[in-house]
Structure 1
């Protein structure tokens, strides 16, 4: 599959838009910064999510031991992120914590006809896994609290 074919698949996909010439593709319906870059027949997926301490309000402190345990658990769970696709993994996922954010990155083989869907599945897995790790009892900043409220509303709607 040529690089131009892979790029065409992303450009035609309803849930991705170009991030600019040579800058890759960004999902249009996700909550955090994510990008899929195409190079040499492979797709590198990068997702940035806040750390637990960056997700809480300035009035709430997360103890270092809680932050470290939260990150270690997230890191272990994100090691499986590429299992949501049948694409071959070229570079194992990396998960790094810097300056209030967690940066996930993995490179997968671009499967013909599935490159954009594979990338989106990885992005959704990372975001969903991050969300599942939110710890109750903290005051979260408005964008994170909005996600929690929407999830609670969806759960109640599903029960009806």
Structure 2
């Protein structure tokens, strides 16, 4: 395997052409521009001409997104449900594949990490974007009613309400 700062040109072109990513800083890291949360994909060469796409999505904990305090039992229940649901990412990708998903809770964030390998760079980028979108959707579905939210969570809830009132589908 090569270093992640040496991703093949075909991966760079696929990210550039995708429209949901932009290059981030030095090296080959791409930030999702279509989600409210921090979604980052790092491509790298893998065996047999394939590419590995390391996907990391960072979301706020429920307590960090709420404007007032959230009881520990509510926070713990929210995290447990989010973790159980977000690991079931396999059905959203173009290529059927197994995922090993790592969900880590920090004081104010939850980090979701997974990787996928594909010979087709465009499908790999599409699937990486689908994983990021799935994490965002799972987060929104798990937001607990009765709290006032701020930041990305508030924006996503507002968008969902507008779409619901207009009968639109995202």
TM-score (norm 1): 0.89
Measure, in 1, the Cα distance between the counterparts of 2:136 and 2:127: 14
Aligned mate of 1:119, from 118, 121, 128: 128
The equivalent of 1:18 in structure 2 is: 23
Aligned mate of 1:75, from 83, 90, 94: 83
Measure, in 2, the Cα distance between the counterparts of 1:87 and 1:106: 15
Contact 2:37 2:152 in 1 (8 A): no
Q: Post-superposition shift, 1:12?
A: 1.7
2:74 counterpart SS class: helix
Structure 2 unpaired stretches of 5+: 1-6, 46-50
Measure, in 2, the Cα distance between the counterparts of 1:35 and 1:139: 28
Measure, in 2, the Cα distance between the counterparts of 1:84 and 1:144: 22
Q: Post-superposition shift, 1:125?
A: 0.2
When structure 1 is superposed on structure 2, of 118-127 and 60-69 the one drifting more is 60-69
Aligned mate of 1:52, from 56, 62, 70: 62
Measure, in 1, the Cα distance between the counterparts of 2:158 and 2:18: 29
Contact 1:45 1:119 in 2 (8 A): yes
Structure 1 unpaired stretches of 5+: none
The equivalent of 1:95 in structure 2 is: 103
The equivalent of 2:70 in structure 1 is: 62
Q: Post-superposition shift, 1:62?
A: 1.0
Note the aligned Cα RMSD (angstroms). Answer: 1.7
The CA deviation string for residues 97-124 of structure 1, in whole angstroms up to 9 with x for no partner, is 0120010000001341312111110000
The equivalent of 2:140 in structure 1 is: 131
**How many residue pairs align between the two structures?**
155
Query: 1:88 and 1:109, CA in 2 relative to 1: closer, same or farther beyond 3 A?
Result: farther
Contact 2:55 2:113 in 1 (8 A): yes
The equivalent of 1:104 in structure 2 is: 112
Measure, in 2, the Cα distance between the counterparts of 1:65 and 1:107: 31
Measure, in 2, the Cα distance between the counterparts of 1:151 and 1:74: 18
2:140 counterpart SS class: helix
The equivalent of 2:162 in structure 1 is: 153
